[in-house]
A and B are shown apart, each in its own frame.
Chain A
Amino acid sequence: MNAASLSVNLEQIAAGAVEQARAAGATGAECTITQGDEFSVSVRMREIESLKEAGSRAAGIRVLVGQRTGSSYTSDLSPDGIAKMVHAAMDLAKVTTEDPHAGLPEPERLGKLAQDLQLFDENVEKLEAAKRIAMAEEAERAALDFDPRISNSEGAGFSSYSGRRVFANSLGFVGGYRLSSCGLSVSPVAKEGDSMERDYWYSAARAFAKLDSPETVGRKAAERALRRLNPRKPFTQKAPVIFEPRTAQALLGDLFDAVNGSAIYKHASFLTGKLGEKIAADCITIVDDATIPGLFGSTPFDDEGVVSQRTVVVENGVLKNYLLNSYTARKLGMKSTGNASRGITGNAGVGPGNFFLEAGSKSAADILKSIPNGLYVTELIGGGGDTVTGDFSSGAAGLWIENGELAYPVSEITIAGNLKQMLMEIEEVGSDLEFRTSIAAPTLLIREMTISGQ
């Protein structure tokens, strides 16, 4: 079956499942179907370690019977499998409670972006296995050959996915889109005396041509592992902290959780009730935008069929909008921002489009120069921010800053603060914003955090 007719076929199955649910007494229904092929290869110490290749499909349905909901899913897309799934969801709807806010999106909000979002690249699918293996081999080789202290490796991997996602609901919405992604990663181990450190670097993209070269990924991974060798444990102190983009991304992830409509209506976020208030430094503008072509967080419509959009969440430090699906919007008396997200079944949650902190004008190097004594965080491990209270505490590793320069590596430390205060104390935002995942941030400088060491 060719690609176009497969899409049509899956859309027909989804619409058929919705129709069956209606026939069985559902007042509303929504069905999601995914189908995809995955490939991954790992190479370690210049030899292939594993090869994996497979395809799978899954369907999920959510039914409304009045104000009650039930959900089910199956990996069996045969007529019998779909019928059983619909039947199971109808049964489950009997045990739930009437929820006055349960429902489908308002019909006028349903729709699809017309533009080509460049979510699918046929070159990902067409790439020969030998080339995929070679990419991983070259990336690891670039790391191993970079420095004699790179003496071991956790391996390098190339992975790819191509598939489609289809959605139909009982308001007449039927839509689908194809997706592809590919990624290249390397995890070298650096060794010197008794010190052994590992780091990693990766590149990921929807289109094969957007992937960084194996050479670039391998060298960067090696540099990162090498600069961690022979770490010290600094004294416990309060000091400025610079988050590089990879760790700033984690902070932004905590902020996403705090503007998620589910946490807001439950009063489970430190940002509940703060719309229109100043919650961050003037230099902070945060946007969620699912309409940018080629990025991981872009989609023509969200997971309940609402057309994707751009939402300004924080503007010059002022909280402008929460991120909502149709349920949380009804709970809060607001409008959905097109952020419905779910696997294939169940009530939709809230997920990011491309959720990012807008770049500033200073380079990371210039920001570094301004710090006489502080921490440059390259890795966060465990812990993180508490959405309810804003308390933040995490393990960390990085480099100590002395007189505006990276002086020596540090590890076995924690950094702590409160997100409410940390947001207000962001003093600099770097110009180095890069979209590597659906949540992205540039280099950030926070005036002061507690660093626990010895």
Chain B
Amino acid sequence: MSFQDSFFAERFGITEHDLESYLSEALSAGGDYADLYFEYLATNSIGIDEGIVKSATGGVTLGVGVRVLAGERTGYAYSDDLSSDKIRKAARTAACIARGPATIVKTGFEVARQHDLYPMLQTPNEVDLAERVELIKRADRAARAYDSRIFQVQASYADNVRHVMVATSEGRLSFDRQPMARLNVVAFAREGDGSPQHGHAGGGGRVTLDFFINEKTPEHFAKEAARQAIVQLSAKDAPSGEMTVVLGPGWPGILLHEAVGHGLEADFNRKGTSAFSGRIGQQVASPLCTVIDDGTIGSRRGSLNVDDEGMPTQKNVLIENGVLRGYLQDKLSSKLMRAASTGSGRRESYQHIPMPRMTNTYMLAGDADPEEIIRSVPKGLYCATFAGGQVDITSGNFVFSATESYLIEGGRITAPVRGASLVGNGPEALKHVSMVGHDLKLDEGIGTCGKEGQSVPVGVGIPTVKIDRMTVGGTAA
């Protein structure tokens, strides 16, 4: 695509000359680097509750963020008005971080190389609203039909399209059109006068509505949510203490996101505040573990053609056969650490300063048979689904919360147990991985990662994995 045909040139009449002059303004007090991040975000969401479509919301936000880097310092300002006056004012504000003579901006832009990971057949806004409504009505019906004990269902569908353009003082220009869609179902089950239980399922990615008609249907997610709620009706108290834990394939890959992913983000390591700081080349996991962060997988929730600093995303090896290989870099950290970009600079919106973030984080498949893994455990816990997790980067301690798990007794999966948190230490936990299944699965597309108040969509994946020792936070002995 040429600049003239790009969304912001066409819709708002922005010229290359404008971009150069804004960048010059941003570097008018000196500084090493400046960039502009233009964003136009159109969203739609609808929700059904008690069988009634109670909400439908749509809207548009747009704006531009101006950033100036001067050594380790960042100056940032933004405007929700794309008029020349307002962008210049933001550029002058961001420029306040630097103190010195103006830095000359390179003239002329080169349009950056980038992937094409999510070709869009139609933009979500062109799709009739009634089609979206039908999706959640189908989900509502399917969850209720699953079992007579399902007494309440909530479903929602949200999609958006984000147009972005990044222009840098180094003459790099990139633009992208990023779709995102997600269907979510919560089902509530009750048996007689017993206490209610609930199950959640959802998914999507950088896809449009057709994905939910042709690939993962509302019925798929609805049945899964209902199934989980029904399972919980017969769940016993979760066990407590250290034990062998087997993680099922897919979403339990959140273990990797919390245990290692965050600790390998370059900002913490540049500052020496991560439990993984200075450990490149060291054994931080069992030799069975190879962990990848890959922003280039087609249509995945965590994928991007270019990151939010205009760099192409890539497939980054974090841990190879248990040895720590690399960090996730953004522009600032890669400059200061003199490291190559990994395409990991991300931000929530034009109102936010970019930082190193994960994309899709997963562990490569091993060669164990998943059934064999279960059979090898005399007593332990099998975790099939999680709600979320959190990590303390500095100590490396992390927590993730299982919502569907089962006891393993005598090499067999037996009784379901209630939700429980699992806790471990990042640089230690994966050393206890003793078997890795051949069944790598990526999650369904539901992850959102929070860091320093900024949320970005991410993906995870893992094969069936056996961890010999992990602390489980239930209430039963």
Contact = CB atoms under 8 A, between A and B. Distances in A.
Given A91-B129, A96-B56, A189 B80 contact: no
27 contacts: A51-B76, A70-B57, A72-B58, A75-B62, A92-B56, A92-B129, A96-B53, A96-B55, A96-B133, A99-B52, A102-B54, A152-B271, A152-B273, A189-B273, A268-B198, A381-B399, A382-B423, A388-B195, A389-B418, A394-B399, A395-B398, A414-B240, A417-B475, A418-B475, A450-B474, A452-B240, A452-B423
Nearest to B428: A412
Residue of A47, A231, A382, A416 most packed against chain B (CB within 10 A): A382
Given A267-B151, A383-B399, A75 B63 contact: yes
Given A50-B74, A54-B77, A56-B63, A267 B152 contact: yes
Contacts of A91: 129
B74 A92 contact: no
A73 interface: yes
Nearest to B70: A48
Contacts of A418: 475
- 9 interchain residue pairs of minimum CB distance: A414-B473, A382-B399, A395-B399, A73-B59, A198-B394, A383-B421, A236-B241, A382-B390, A92-B56
Contacts of B75: 50-52
B246 to A, nearest CB: 18
Interface in A190-210: 196-198
Interface in A342-361: 345-347
Given A73-B59, A450-B240, A198 B188 contact: no
B93 interface: yes
A50 B74 CA distance: 4
A152 B258 CA distance: 23
Contacts of B80: 56-58, 75
Interface string B188-201: 10100001111000
Given A97-B54, A382-B421, A389 B397 contact: no
Interface string A77-101: 0000000110010011111111100
Interface string B40-81: 000000101110111111111111000000001111111110
Interface string A323-347: 0000000000000000000000111
Given A47-B73, A54-B351, A74-B60, A412 B471 contact: yes
Interface of A: 44, 47-54, 56-58, 60, 69-76, 84-85, 88, 91-99, 102, 129, 152-154, 189, 196-198, 228, 231, 233, 236, 266-268, 270, 345-347, 379, 381-383, 386, 388-389, 391, 393-395, 397, 411-418, 450, 452-454
Contacts of A75: 60-63, 80
B388 interface: yes
Contacts of A95: 46, 53, 56, 129-130, 132-133
Contact of A92 (B57, B62, B393): B57
Main secondary structure of the interface of B (DSSP, over half): strand
Contact of A197 (B48, B52, B390, B394): B394
Contact of A386 (B97, B130, B419): B419
Contact of A48 (B63, B97, B394, B421): B97
Contact of B471 (A99, A153, A454): A454
Given A414-B471, A414-B472, 15 more contacts: A54-B93, A71-B55, A72-B59, A93-B56, A154-B394, A267-B152, A267-B188, A388-B188, A388-B198, A412-B397, A414-B422, A414-B423, A416-B473, A452-B242, A452-B472
Interface of B: 46, 48-50, 52-63, 72-80, 90, 93, 96-97, 129-130, 132-133, 151-152, 154, 188, 190, 195-198, 238, 240-242, 258, 271-273, 275, 351, 353, 388-395, 397-401, 418-425, 471-475
Contacts of A345: 57, 59
A52 B151 CA distance: 49
B271 A154 contact: yes
B229 to A, nearest CB: 10
A196 B151 contact: no
Given A48-B73, A152-B272, A393 B401 contact: yes
Contacts of A53: 76-77, 93
A98 B54 CA distance: 8
A416 B57 contact: no
B241 A381 contact: no
A252 B401 CA distance: 20
Nearest to B387: A383
A74 B63 CA distance: 11
Contact of A393 (B63, B196, B395, B419): B419
A428 B60 CA distance: 50
Contact of A198 (B152, B273, B389): B273
A56 B81 CA distance: 9
Residue of A72, A93, A189, A393 most packed against chain B (CB within 10 A): A393
A24 to B, nearest CB: 16
B245 to A, nearest CB: 12
Given A382-B388, A383-B421, A70 B151 contact: no
B195 to A, nearest CB: 6
Contacts of A93: 56
B473 A395 contact: yes
A156 to B, nearest CB: 13
A417 B475 CA distance: 6
Contacts of A56: 63, 78, 80, 351
Contacts of A393: 238, 401, 419-421, 473-475
A47 B72 CA distance: 9
Contacts of B238: 393, 416
A236 B240 contact: yes
Nearest to A42: B74
B392 A198 contact: yes
B394 A266 contact: no
A233 B428 CA distance: 14
B475 A71 contact: no
B309 to A, nearest CB: 15
Given A44-B271, A416-B475, A382 B398 contact: yes
Contacts of B392: 198, 379, 381, 397
A452 B387 CA distance: 20
Given A92-B57, A381-B392, A50 B473 contact: no
B29 to A, nearest CB: 12
Contacts of B133: 95-96
Given A267-B151, A412-B471, A71 B57 contact: yes
Contacts of A270: 195
Contact of A268 (B73, B196, B472): B196
A50 B76 contact: yes
A196 B238 CA distance: 31
A266 B48 CA distance: 13
A124 to B, nearest CB: 18
